[in-house]
Amino acid sequence: MPLDLDSLNEKQRAAVEHLEGPLLVLAGAGTGKTRTLTYRLAHLLEQGLASPHSILAITFTRKAAAELAHRLESLVGDQAQDITATTFHGLGYRLLRAEAHVFGYKVGALSVFDATDARRLLQRALKEANVNSERWDLEMVAQTISSAKEQLHGPDTFVTTPNDFFQESIGKVYARYQQLLLEQNAVDYADLIRLTLALLQQKPEALAFYQNLFRYISVDELQDTSAAQYELVRYLSWAHRNVYAVGSPVQAIYSWRGSDINNILTRFQRDFENAPLVILDQNYRSTRTILDAANHLVRSFDYPDKALWTENEPGAAIQLVTLNSEREEALFIGRQAQQWVTDHNGAFTDCAVLFRTKAQGRLLEQVFMQLGVPYTLVGDFRFLERREIKDMLAYLRLLHNLDDAVALQRIINRPPRGLGSATLQKIQDGAPDFALECLYGLEDRNDLSDKIKATGKKFLDLVLDELYRAAKEKPLPEFFEFALTATGYLDWIAQDPEANQRLANLRTLQGMTVRFADHGAAGLGNFLAELATLSDADVSEGEEGIMLITMHAAKGLEFPVVFLAGMEEGLFPHVKSTRTANQLGEERRLAYVAVTRAREHLYLTHARSRQLGIDTRENRISRFIHDIPSELMERRSGAENPSLRLSLPVIQQPDPAEPALLVEA
């Protein structure tokens, strides 16, 4: 069936019908940017200008990529399966897996270390580089190296000031850390972009290959790209210049993780000087009242996409609710959500609570549990950190990459095999790391007991024979089941006091492998890489109920009912984000993003006093509320509701002046 372009508005259609050459689309909140993008890709295929294999669509989250693929399938059918829709880091893994030999890696078995394993390796690098770990804090070193990678500095270019003690000390750690990663055939999260770009810069034939492969490139959320991510797009698209970039400067909220708003404000049109500009400014999401409030929040900015309009009805007034404390605030939100679900015959999944810091979610979660209100917690995901999940992922990682010593050391004695730390140290016999090679030739060792020799050989046979062969032959979900049994792990956890929950968690993990069942030999690596590159917005603790989520993680989502909690000075805008005009400007854009998540009903709640650390503080109402015209709001007080007197145990909230509170998403 031909595409119905008449269903698009005039500006959407202009973007869809621009098929050749660069194009910049500024798409404000709720203006149909995903619909416009998918129609454009479908139009490319319908006009015969592109094959599905030649299309690359880059998004920021796996959920966004999956949504894009789903919508494309509804428009073009099975052709959508051959379009590459992925995240920046997913794209990096895809290219490095095939080309990493350029940097000395083994092709096809590349591991991506998560933050926990990367920190463990970095701790070892600190020690082996003879750098005082008491002088240089591990987290500071990790952030310094990660920042260097974001700026495309490898170990060889890290030191920019000769004889600078700090740079030279961290530079030694950086160099040793990268060597350790190479020895384990692994990269960390930041390497996925840095090394991919280095590949394209250093290997002209690889650059030419991928430029010819991906002749039509689209990139979503251009305002959120870092300098390195932007350069990756520029390199890939430069030959054919068929790059469709979409974003919204008024929604630029991630400078703290390296994004550069200038990529969308100036850089793209400078580099692609003939790129037309299309501005999508009709909002289809929110009521007129909510949209007017959002527009007032950003009226001081000089962004082309700051003033949206809508044909939607005015809808209900925004509810501004004053509570005495953060406890009453949490209770009000829970009770009000229950009331809304009852009055509108709705569902709790229609509601979301957005807050500035993760710490605010603790009390909300506890209150909702006491009220019996179902919820989904986003951005504080613990599933992948559970012991049984980490164990089975370590087995999978080792089978994918036999050089992954970090994974080996985690599972060699899980379940217990009599290979404790003292025994492993003896087997290691002075080797720099405990790797599979340490188990080779045990039968010839005179310093080990027959029992240790037999146990070591049995484990080696399990890994290199049974499991390795099964990993190559079985679809991933079947291999997962085989590994659970063959390793003895299933029998072991059956003896655990929390056996039922642990088994349920493992079944959940197994369910996550189903999507990779038909990926063949690459399925295991693809699955592990996806888990290692998940973002906060991709993971949650449940699948039903009210969504509890930070404002940063809520980007791209929408709900009929939204509660913005903690609308107080010092909390939002955050005390640490009011020191410069740029920081405060980003907080204001974050307020805009938060408000525009609401479709029909918006509640702004604030507490007169809030416990922070051991102190109780009186807080002024957020300046952002003062920017919203009073005629758009209806003021309420939680004190009028006696049900807000539910007794709850005290939970100490971190002080906003403490670094621990400044966790963005």
- What residues are labeled active site? 33-34, 220-221, 251, 597
Residues in the chain: 665
Residue 428: phi and psi, rounded to 5, are: -60, -35
Residue 514 tokens, joined: 């189903």
Q: Say which DSSP state 178 is in.
A: H
Q: Which of 38, 186, 29 is nearest to 111 (CA)?
A: 186
**Sequence-ordered alpha helix ranges (H) in 32-164:** 33-46, 62-76, 88-99, 115-128, 138-150
Residue 152: phi and psi, rounded to 5, are: 70, 30
What are residue 602's DSSP bridge partners? 562
Residue with tokens 């009186």: 618
In SS3 terms, 550-587 reads as ECCCCCCCCEEEEEECCCECEECCEHHHCCCHHHHHHH
The pairing of beta strand 318-323 with beta strand 598-607: parallel
Residue 562: phi and psi, rounded to 5, are: -130, 135
The pairing of beta strand 277-280 with beta strand 23-27: parallel
Residue 87 CA to residue 236 CA, distance in Å, equals: 15
Check: CB of residue 533 under 8 Å from CB of residue 87.
Answer: yes
The shares of helix, strand and coil residues in the chain, as percent rounded to the nearest 5, are 55, 15, 35
The H or E element that residue 448 is part of is: none
Cis preceding-peptide flag for 573 (omega within 30 of 0):
yes
Amino acid at 273: E
The H or E element that residue 7 is part of is: none
